[in-house]
């Protein structure tokens, strides 16, 4: 059983949507990752005629099955594309993964395949039952008395190859696989895009949907950190004489040393301005230190110019709203577990640990592991 991700280049509702960035990755990435998570698919392919879609798909480890131009027009049907696939690839059935439905658990595909196989079905479609009917057609019936019907949501289809060869989208023995509401969303409009971006970030941060950061982290050349709430626990400590004190984590310091050892530059940009931070930065041997920063992004741009690198080469970890403009700009935005919700909405990675308790070390370990 093989997976097919149909991705035509000529989207009209959301131009270029298949490779438009959503939650930090091209839209098509989420279906590729879902297919890679499957243990039951024998293989999977992107079906496209578009060179840029093919390039992006291959960069995330997908194989490309080039689609004939006559099957890439506005009026081309998905079933005609699948017919072309079964003529070229040996399989008993096809699992169709629409890029426009990016919300899937890591085991969603395998659960559907198992249900399909065990039930000896010839078709499976995910979706939900609805009781919505056209106005005036229900004669003021109570909602609970309206007979529902199954609506396929486009998330996952499994179709027997013989059904496909007949030019049919469904067979005679259909499994209607019900998914909960959040999985039913699909992208047809720019508003759908915004809704799904929010849901994807939320699911990733909650650990409901896995992400492979390898391709992003491999390009990281600079690690930038805030101080309070990141390198410290954000607590305000004072001696009896009123001197300010901060609590740093030694494991964070070791992590910074380890990323430096693999050639990654380090920087601290903070709105604070204290000798404590200056001494800590000196001990950590960070390459750049900016204190008293009201707007952090211009200072980061100064570093990038000196290092001759781009924003996509930066990992930044910040915990509060004064970090937002930087988090929205860099290639790998990160916030600690106790960072503010606004930061979690834009971060690609939320550490399991709180600021000052090893959050920076956790990020450093991730970078080292993926490098």
pLDDT beneath 50: ranges in the chain: none
| 114-132 pLDDT tens trace | 999 999 999 999 998 875 6
pTM for the structure as a whole: 0.77
Mapping DSSP onto H, E and C, the string for 221-288 reads CEEEECCCCCCECCCCEECCCCCEECCECHHHHHHHHHHHHCCCEEEEECCCCCHHHHHHHHHHCCCE
Which residues neighbour 143 within 8 Å (Cβ) at sequence distance 6 or greater? Answer: 131
| Torsional class of 39: left (φ above 0), alpha (ψ -120 to 50), beta (otherwise) | alpha
Q: Is the four-CA dihedral 303, 305, 307, 309 of positive or negative sign?
A: positive
Could you please state the CATH topology (level 3) that the domain comprising 2-207 is classified under. Answer: Spore Coat Polysaccharide Biosynthesis Protein SpsA; Chain A (3.90.550)
Whole-number pLDDT of residue 141: 54
The alpha carbons of the chain give a radius of gyration, in whole angstroms, of: 25
| 83-110 pLDDT tens trace | 999 999 999 999 999 999 999 999 999 9
Q: Is the four-CA dihedral 235, 239, 245, 251 of positive or negative sign?
A: negative
284 touches 256 (CB < 8 A): yes
Q: How many residues does the chain have?
A: 371
Task: Just give the CATH number of 215-370.
Answer: 3.40.50.1000
Question: For 346, which DSSP code?
Answer: H
Question: In angstroms, rounded to a whole number, what is the distance separating the alpha carbons of residues 154 and 131?
Answer: 19
Nearest to 159 by CA among 169, 144, 173: 169
Give me the numbers of helices (H) and strands (E) for the chain, helices first please: 13, 17
> For the chain, which residues make up each domain, given as ranges?
2-207, 215-370
Whole-number pLDDT of residue 150: 84
Whole-number pLDDT of residue 100: 93
Q: Give the bridge partners for 222, in sequence order.
A: 265, 314
């Amino acid at each position: 059983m093989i997976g097919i991700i149909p991705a035509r280049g000529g989207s009209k509702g959301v131009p270029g949507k298949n490779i438009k960035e959503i939650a930090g990755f091209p839209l098509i990435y989420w279906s590729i990752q879902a297919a890679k998570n499957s243990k039951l698919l024998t293989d999977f392919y992107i079906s496209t005629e578009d060179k840029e879609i093919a390039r992006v798909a291959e960069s995330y480890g997908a194989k490309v099955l080039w689609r004939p131009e006559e099957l890439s027009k506005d009026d081309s049907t998905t079933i005609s594309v699948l017919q072309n696939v079964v003529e070229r690839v040996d399989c008993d059935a096809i699992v169709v993964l629409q890029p426009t439905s990016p919300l899937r658990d890591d085991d969603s595909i395998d659960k559907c395949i198992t249900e399909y196989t065990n039930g000896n079905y010839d078709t499976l479609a995910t979706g939900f039952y609805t009781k919505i009917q056209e106005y005036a057609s229900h004669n003021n019936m109570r909602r609970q008395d309206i007979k529902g019907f199954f609506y396929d949501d486009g998330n996952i289809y499994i179709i027997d190859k013989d059904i496909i060869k007949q030019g049919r989208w469904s067979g005679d023995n259909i499994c209607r696989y019900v998914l909960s509401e959040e999985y039913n969303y699909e992208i047809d409009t720019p508003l759908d895009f915004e809704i799904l971006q929010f849901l994807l970030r939320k699911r990733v941060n909650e650990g409901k949907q896995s992400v492979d950061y390898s391709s992003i982290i491999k390009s990281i050349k600079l690690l930038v950190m805030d101080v309070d709430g990141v390198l410290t626990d954000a607590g305000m400590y004072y001696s009896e004489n009123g001197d300010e004190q901060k609590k740093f984590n030694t494991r964070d310091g070791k992590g910074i040393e380890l990323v430096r050892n693999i050639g990654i530059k380090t920087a601290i940009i903070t709105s604070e301005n204290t000798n404590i931070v200056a001494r800590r930065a000196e001990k950590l041997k960070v390459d750049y230190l900016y204190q008293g920063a009201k707007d952090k992004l211009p200072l980061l741009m100064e570093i990038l110019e000196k290092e001759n690198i781009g924003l996509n080469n930066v990992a930044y970890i910040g915990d509060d709203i004064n970090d937002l403009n930087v988090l929205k700009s860099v290639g790998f935005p990160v916030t600690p577990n106790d960072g503010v919700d606004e930061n979690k909405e834009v971060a690609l990675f939320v550490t399991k640990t709180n600021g000052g308790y090893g959050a920076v070390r956790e990020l450093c370990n991730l970078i080292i592991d993926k490098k």
